[in-house]
Chain A
Amino acid sequence: MYRSHVLVCGGTGCTSSGSAKIIETLQAEIKKNGLKDEVAVVQTGCHGLCALGPIIVVYPDATFYTLIKPEDIPEIVSEHLVKGRVVERLVYKEETKDRGTVSLNDTDFYKKQHRVALRNCGVINPENIDEYIATGGYEALGKVLTEYTPEQVIQIVMDSGLRGRGGGGFSTGLKWKLARANEADQKYVCCNADEGDPGAFMDRSILEGDPHVVLEAMAIAGYAIGANQGYIYVRAEYPIAVERLKIAIAQAREYGLLGKNIFNTGFDFDIDLRLGAGAFVCGEETALMTSIEGNRGEPRPRPPFPAQKGLYQKPTLLNNVETYANIPQIILNGPEWFASMGTEKSKGTKVFALGGKVRNTGLVEIPMGTTLREVIEDIGGGIPNGKKFKAAQTGGPSGGCIPAEHFDVPIDYDNLIQIGSMMGSGGLIVMDEDNCMVDIAKFFLGFTVDESCGKCTPCRIGTKRLYELLDKITNGQGTMEDLDKLEELCYYIKENALCGLGQTAPNPVLSTLNYFKDEYKAHVLERRCPAGVCKALLSYVIDPVLCKGCTMCSRVCPNGAISGKVKEAHVIDQSKCIKCGACMEKCKFGAISKK
């Protein structure tokens, strides 16, 4: 037994900032100090505060160290682990404000969070099934198999008010009920782990930090709808998630928690992995199942819905990773517990991947109904560099922008739809005054153009035309008619595209047109980009009064666009300027500005 556990974050963020090297150094130092039998090093999933990784937490005192470098390790080991003296300079700053509290849960970042789906992430070793069991893992499955009928399980999920966390927000209980109602010789349970929104990594973190919760929930779903086979469709670009799922499945099979006659109840259930090859459209349910079948990942028309004819034409239940991650807790704590969190129509919590112009980028789980202001200012720590909040983008390429005027709207499915965005899978990108909204819309359209599968015309050609119109506007060649055309085309695509990808692709354009029409107009009428992003509409100019003639700018200009004599004001030749901004960065006198 160990007297101290040192948890090192092995989530994606911390892994890419070098946590593997930290673990190696830590183990070597612990050995050197003769603590090998006293201190355990545990690799965990994501703690959420990715901006400050690599993260180390030392228990039992729960000291939270951030931004750790391998050079810091000898000090942590010799001071903290040998002598019990916390290395203050490495402790997460919020904690040192008040020396009395070293509890993680009291920091601004964690205080307003409520971790249900992420409850084990950053707490247990995801590669050890015993640690999952120690936190109550597989008890829900045992309870369901021995105490409840499938109908009772479905009723519990219905009563909890859980809605699909993949973005659509369809009632999970109802989905299960529909899948149960269809009689068939074979049914399937699928897990959508093909998370593809730019900047989103909620599902990734759950799979990496707590893979067993997904397996357990899928087995419960299998029992509820009458299926004995499950598939997890996970992106091949998530190598750590894939590896940990493989380990988890092997361990669960070894323990008999997957396979034949689980808990001696006669219930059989097994799970296999299917790797996606990085096509965004495969996150759409019908395309996902087509891909599992071994075909090219293209959506098919609905109806028939997956609950009627899904995978291999059999009734299929498909839920997203985060949806599943809530299920065991709902079973164990009861539907009333879950329904006590959140708003009237959106129960429970939601995980968001907080990114963009915000201090604490990372993973946050909040009760539904928390306002955008709380998420960005309190948990996220506000906008850096004293800039002003402009908008938040939710729902990725299918969602929209929420402007500052809706900063205090409680976040839930219905409110977000009402203000022209959507919950989506949980990407939350914060934008400040330096972001051009037309450019943002163009970015997302560029993404959908790349990812459109090409099966239906409205999406294949329509999104391309949308992109071209946006490109024209950002290049300063747009007309007011283009704005009308843009809007008309958006509605056309929404109504006629085959699947969710196309139907939602125009959302980024529509919501920016709605809230930031002035910016579009500035691009068209004044040939001006208010945020100073669209290169074609910018010009760099030198103020002849401020310029001292140091020649620095003309030397750094890669295109020879700046001329002038020493100690005389310089001039930029606009026909040669490529608008790289190098001159402005170099000027020591602040004489160069962009307009």
Chain B
Amino acid sequence: MKSLEELKAIREKMQGQIGLRSESSDKTRVVVGMATCGIASGARPVLNALSDAVQSKGLSNVQVTMTGCIGLCQYEPIVEVFEPGKDKVTYVKMTPEKALEIVDQHLIRGQVVSKYTIAEVLG
């Protein structure tokens, strides 16, 4: 270890991963429906894509977690985004690729990806 920069680099690399273990109520929660219906329609790759992206981009204020059946089985995989002080946003028929768009647009830039929201898809 020859410099503080080296230490900082290790810290930043690891922080995204350790961030998974922090507990804070003012975090944005991204919840993936992982009931039988969700898993059957491919929720696991979506969950993994979200989790990896959030960690590798160091989004320490975002928690990616899962839940049981949300109740709209025909629209699975479903991803819900809960931001403190804002209305819940529900994305339906997710794929890993769409999930990455949500990370880039919604979680990083704060713009809801309307075309994937339940309101839009249900028409």
Residues of A within 8 A of B (CB): 1-5, 7, 38, 59-62, 82-85, 103-105, 123-124, 130-131, 133-136, 138-139, 142-143, 146, 255-257, 261-264
- Contact status of A130 and B10, CB under 8 A, knowing A60-B65, A255-B1, A263-B4: yes
B86 within 8 A of A: no
Query: With a CB–CB cut-off of 8 A, which chain B residues contact A59?
Result: 20-21
Is the CB–CB distance between B7 and A83 below 8 Å? no
- In angstroms, Cα B34 to Cα A255, docked, is 41
Query: With a CB–CB cut-off of 8 A, which chain B residues contact A256?
Result: 1-2
- In angstroms, Cα B48 to Cα A374, docked, is 43
Is the CB–CB distance between B11 and A136 below 8 Å? yes
Bitwise interface map of B from 4 to 38 toward A, beta carbon under 8 Å scored 1, else 0:
10010011011111101101010000001111100
List 17 interface pairs A-B (beta carbons < 8 Å), by A numbering: A7-B21, A38-B48, A60-B20, A60-B63, A60-B64, A83-B39, A84-B33, A84-B34, A84-B35, A103-B23, A123-B21, A124-B18, A133-B7, A133-B11, A134-B14, A261-B2, A263-B2
B95 within 8 A of A: no
B56 within 8 A of A: yes
New A-B contacts (15) at CB < 8 Å, excluding given A1-B16, A83-B35, A123-B21: A1-B17, A1-B51, A1-B56, A3-B48, A60-B65, A62-B21, A83-B39, A84-B67, A104-B23, A124-B18, A130-B13, A134-B11, A134-B14, A256-B1, A263-B3
Is the CB–CB distance between A264 and B3 below 8 Å? yes
Is the CB–CB distance between A82 and B34 below 8 Å? yes
Query: With a CB–CB cut-off of 8 A, which chain A residues contact B47?
Result: 3, 38
B55 within 8 A of A: yes
Is the CB–CB distance between A263 and B14 below 8 Å? no
Q: Please name the residue on chain A nearest to B32 by beta carbon.
A: A84
Residues of B within 8 A of A (CB): 1-4, 7, 10-11, 13-18, 20-21, 23, 25, 32-36, 39, 44, 47-48, 50-52, 55-56, 63-68
Q: Please name the residue on chain B nearest to A85 by beta carbon.
A: B68
Query: With a CB–CB cut-off of 8 A, which chain A residues contact B48?
Result: 3, 38
- Contact status of A5 and B21, CB under 8 A, knowing A84-B67, A256-B2, A257-B1: yes
- In angstroms, Cα B64 to Cα A454, docked, is 61
Is the CB–CB distance between B25 and A5 below 8 Å? no
Is the CB–CB distance between B36 and A83 below 8 Å? yes
Is the CB–CB distance between B20 and A263 below 8 Å? no
Query: With a CB–CB cut-off of 8 A, which chain B residues contact A85?
Result: 68
Query: With a CB–CB cut-off of 8 A, which chain B residues contact A103?
Result: 23, 25
Q: Please name the residue on chain B nearest to A252 by beta carbon.
A: B1
- In angstroms, Cα B22 to Cα A104, docked, is 11
- In angstroms, Cα B23 to Cα A61, docked, is 8
Query: With a CB–CB cut-off of 8 A, which chain B residues contact A138?
Result: 1, 7
User: Shortest 10 CB-CB distances between A and B: which pairs?
Assistant: A84-B66, A134-B14, A3-B51, A84-B34, A256-B1, A134-B18, A264-B2, A142-B4, A59-B21, A1-B52
Is the CB–CB distance between B25 and A134 below 8 Å? no
- In angstroms, Cα B23 to Cα A133, docked, is 19
Q: Please name the residue on chain A nearest to B47 by beta carbon.
A: A3
Interface centre among A59, A104, A105, A131 (most CB of B within 10 A): A59
- Contact status of A83 and B18, CB under 8 A, knowing A103-B25, A142-B7, A256-B1: no
Interface centre among A3, A103, A123, A146 (most CB of B within 10 A): A3
Min CB gap B41→A, angstroms? 14
- In angstroms, Cα B7 to Cα A59, docked, is 26
Interface centre among B1, B50, B52, B65 (most CB of A within 10 A): B1
- Contact status of A5 and B10, CB under 8 A, knowing A83-B36, A84-B68: no
Min CB gap B68→A, angstroms? 5
- In angstroms, Cα B13 to Cα A2, docked, is 14
Min CB gap B22→A, angstroms? 9
Is the CB–CB distance between B34 and A2 below 8 Å? no
Is the CB–CB distance between B68 and A83 below 8 Å? yes
Query: With a CB–CB cut-off of 8 A, which chain B residues contact A3?
Result: 47-48, 50-52, 64
Query: With a CB–CB cut-off of 8 A, which chain A residues contact B63?
Result: 60-61
Q: Please name the residue on chain A nearest to B18 by beta carbon.
A: A134
- In angstroms, Cα B67 to Cα A105, docked, is 21
Interface centre among A136, A142, A257 (most CB of B within 10 A): A142
Partner of B34, one of A1, A83, A131, A261: A83
Q: Please name the residue on chain B nearest to A42 by beta carbon.
A: B21
Interface centre among B17, B20, B21, B63 (most CB of A within 10 A): B21
Query: With a CB–CB cut-off of 8 A, which chain A residues contact B36?
Result: 83
Query: With a CB–CB cut-off of 8 A, which chain B residues contact A131?
Result: 14, 18
Min CB gap B96→A, angstroms? 13
- In angstroms, Cα B36 to Cα A579, docked, is 62
- In angstroms, Cα B39 to Cα A142, docked, is 47
- In angstroms, Cα B55 to Cα A4, docked, is 11
Query: With a CB–CB cut-off of 8 A, which chain A residues contact B4?
Result: 139, 142-143, 146, 263
Min CB gap A49→B, angstroms? 16
Q: Please name the residue on chain A nearest to B63 by beta carbon.
A: A60
Q: Please name the residue on chain A nearest to B30 by beta carbon.
A: A60
